[in-house]
Chain A
Amino acid sequence: MKTISKLLLAISFAISVTTSAFAVTAVSWGGAYTESQKLGYGDPTAKALGIEINWVDYSGGLSEIKAQKEAGAITWDIIDVFAMDTINGCDEGLFVEFDFDKDFPPAPDGTPASKDFFTAMPSKCAVGNILYSWNYAYNTNNVKGTPKTIKDFFNTEKFPGKRAIYKGALTNLEIALAADGIKPGKGGAKIYKALNTEKGVNRAMDKIKALCTDPNGGCVFWSAGAQPPELLVSGEVVMATGWNGRFFGAEVGEGAPIKQVWDGQGLDYEYFVQVKGGPNDANGKAKKALAMMTSTEMLAGSAKYIAYAPWRKSSIAIMEAGEPWYKDGKTNMVPQMPTAPQNTKNYFLVDPVFWADNGTELGEKWEAMKAGL
């Protein structure tokens, strides 16, 4: 049975293999984000190394690569994944484990790669690519006054109107506690300490529940990153949590009347992983391309097109020297980075280990809470 299933899956994958069998296949989320990767570092790397890099879209999760592996017909080389997926995929043996300082080049001043990146990697299989923020934004036309803090997001008396929040528990519990008065502490350690107890989880759930059942408030749950700015612009909600790059795109790119608030933001990461046994694993092309794409200069390149921060500290210096860095030639990008000093006065780092541990159980509690709204 198993061999037949493998055979069948292999056939179906063989049929779906793209024509360029020798190109390195990089898989990412699509849209403006993939565009920024392709223009920022994909194309320059491909040109410098003389190899072809093919960008393919996916919608996240590890199910596709797991299916490819079970079928024994892997077609992907490099995948752009969430922190939790690097942990789960590394545990499942799907990805290549790196020898970090050997596999990745040092910063221009000679700092080894492991010191140049903002924080340590969550697993041996991950190399950082961008940092993004779960912050919130409001519609300047529909909100009277200026929300400044994460508490204001939950303050329906002062700022009445519906809020849009992410459909899952991820980051919602954290901001609820931050708004409920817990100081995040270094990297959000205090928030996660509280969430490790039943009491802390209930406290966070109650805070969200109060917001969603408040007649002056109410919640809309978003699932796709494009939704929060859309919901704000259409006036469906007055405030929305979301990814800062999307808000930036609407605010600066399209001139929408929205403004971002950075207080209590959750800093989250995006990583590249290399697929073990991918078509360009044995010949070393995939690793070579990956090392080049995550070098100082290359990472800075993507910030030209989108407001996500490069992982390497040394990349920021390149951006500063090149301001205005945004592709329109007049917007300074460094202040738009989630890692900029004025944006990180009160923030937490989304803890992938916590979510890998507790994701399912908290997910169930979250859904049960939502079902009772």
Chain B
Amino acid sequence: MSSETNKILTTDGIPLEVSLKRSERKNKIKAFLLVAPLLLFLIITYIFPIGSMLTRSIDDKMVTEMLPKTYKAMETWDGKELPSEEVFEAFYFDFQNLVEEKREGKLSTQLNYTKNGFKSIIKKLRRKSKSFEEGNYKEQIMAVHKRWANVEYWQAIQRRAPAYTAQKYLKGMDMYKNESGEIVSVSEDRRIHRVLWLRTLEIAFFVTLFCFLMAYPIAHLLATLPMKYSNLLMICVLLPFWTSLLVRTASWMILLQQQGMVNDFFVWIGLVGDDSRPEMMFNKTGSYVAMTQILLPFMVLPLYSVMKTISPSLMRAGKSLGGTPLVAFWKVYFPLTIPGIGAGCLLVFILAIGYYITPALVGGASGTLISNQIAFHMKSTLDWSFASAMGLMLLTGVLAIYWVYNKIVGVDNIKLG
């Protein structure tokens, strides 16, 4: 028991260890209280919306609760032929309840997401069902509209049975679960999302590459020029940054369209004929050019801040040790700028992958991205759960890229300044 007897006590008789812990705890609480507002802010504006997005994208309780009897009756249905009278009857009673609560409109919206064509037949059913006679509901419902006699519509209703579902995620990959539970692709003329995902990645990748190729020399110049010139150059880099995004996008349209200034100039110097003006706007090229210019400062600034800290004597040392300028650059200077490159590339890539307004305006048919599709479902179809699912897929993609980056380069190597 030597440790107990040897315990050092403070003047008021409390063991030093306890006293120290106590004061440390006080400090910890103080520190926590200091960051608490920020933490709260992050939870409210970041963690919380993402959480609610996640639940929204898989929660499908609404339809399940709207049609309880139908789903009970459907349990024994094999899902191949038209369901039996029982199912029709159950559906009729569920539907009458919904009409009383004025909720049949919501049902029609939800079912229309799963299969197009439900909106009008549910409206028609509401009108006709008022004069339904008792019994033989199958005949009566099928007589309302020929789609009610089409098994595909009943299969669509059955597909909405589970309270939680991954259907929206499958839809985001142009797939769905068919009647026998296999996951298959949708018909070829409706596959749009896969194309858009690939295109989004492609455009984000090339925009990052172009930004890097252009920003590296600029940042180098900025970091090495004397102060009075570099300040001016810095303003040139930042000026577009302070101009409205829409103004810059519109200016590119004016410059690059077929009858635009750049093409006029090409024709004037005789580079191209008047009737063979190249198309540089409303296609992928338009997206590349406008996005690269808009995102350029996000690459220049981290590169600049890293290059600024590299002492010029290092290059001199490299050269005096016998390296050619190129070798000195490649062996000494370039490795030192990698943290800036990492930061810049990640920033630009992540911004580009979620880009929205610019591709919508200048991208034309071949230059629009997945974010435009997300916006379409947010604003037009009101299918927020699908939009959430695609938003989360995008987020997961970004996180995956971040993870890969961390494995290859290491996040500790990022430096913003």
Chain A interface residues (CB < 8 Å from chain B): 1, 4-5, 8, 59-63, 66, 87-88, 90-93, 162, 212, 219-221, 223, 234-236, 353-354, 356-365, 367-371, 373
| Sample of 10 further A-B pairs with CB below 8 A, known A59-B379, A221-B365, A356-B120 | A63-B378, A91-B105, A92-B105, A223-B360, A353-B120, A360-B113, A364-B190, A364-B192, A368-B188, A371-B192
B201 at the interface (CB under 8 A from A): no
Considering the chains assembled together, what is the distance between the CA atoms of A353 and B122 in angstroms? 12
Minimal beta-carbon separation of A9 from chain B (angstroms): 10
Task: Indicate with 1 or 0, residue by residue over B81-119, a CB within 8 angstroms of chain A CB atoms.
Answer: 000000000000000000000110110110011001111
B52–A1 CB distance below 8 A: yes
Minimal beta-carbon separation of B171 from chain A (angstroms): 10
A223–B117 CB distance below 8 A: no
Considering the chains assembled together, what is the distance between the CA atoms of A90 and B192 in angstroms? 30
A220–B364 CB distance below 8 A: yes
Considering the chains assembled together, what is the distance between the CA atoms of A371 and B383 in angstroms? 22
Task: Indicate with 1 or 0, residue by residue over B350-387, a CB within 8 angstroms of chain A CB atoms.
Answer: 00000000001100111000000100101111111000
Considering the chains assembled together, what is the distance between the CA atoms of A365 and B44 in angstroms? 39
B292 at the interface (CB under 8 A from A): no
Considering the chains assembled together, what is the distance between the CA atoms of A4 and B118 in angstroms? 34
A360–B112 CB distance below 8 A: yes
**Tier of interface size on chain B:** 35 or more
Chain B interface residues (CB < 8 Å from chain A): 44, 48, 51-52, 55, 102-103, 105-106, 108-109, 112-113, 116-120, 123, 188-192, 195-196, 199, 254, 257-260, 282, 360-361, 364-366, 373, 376, 378-384
B378 and chain A: residue at smallest CB distance = A63
When distances are taken between beta carbons in the complex, the residues of chain B under 8 Å from A356 are: 112, 119-120
Considering the chains assembled together, what is the distance between the CA atoms of A356 and B361 in angstroms? 26
B379–A357 CB distance below 8 A: no
A373–B190 CB distance below 8 A: no
| Residue from B195, B364, B379 in contact with A63 in the complex, judged by beta carbons closer than 8 Å | B379
Considering the chains assembled together, what is the distance between the CA atoms of A57 and B156 in angstroms? 38
When distances are taken between beta carbons in the complex, the residues of chain A under 8 Å from B382 are: 61-63, 66, 88, 92
A371–B195 CB distance below 8 A: yes
| Residue from A4, A8, A93, A358 in contact with B105 in the complex, judged by beta carbons closer than 8 Å | A93
| Residue from B48, B113, B118, B257 in contact with A357 in the complex, judged by beta carbons closer than 8 Å | B118
When distances are taken between beta carbons in the complex, the residues of chain B under 8 Å from A223 are: 360-361
B116–A88 CB distance below 8 A: no
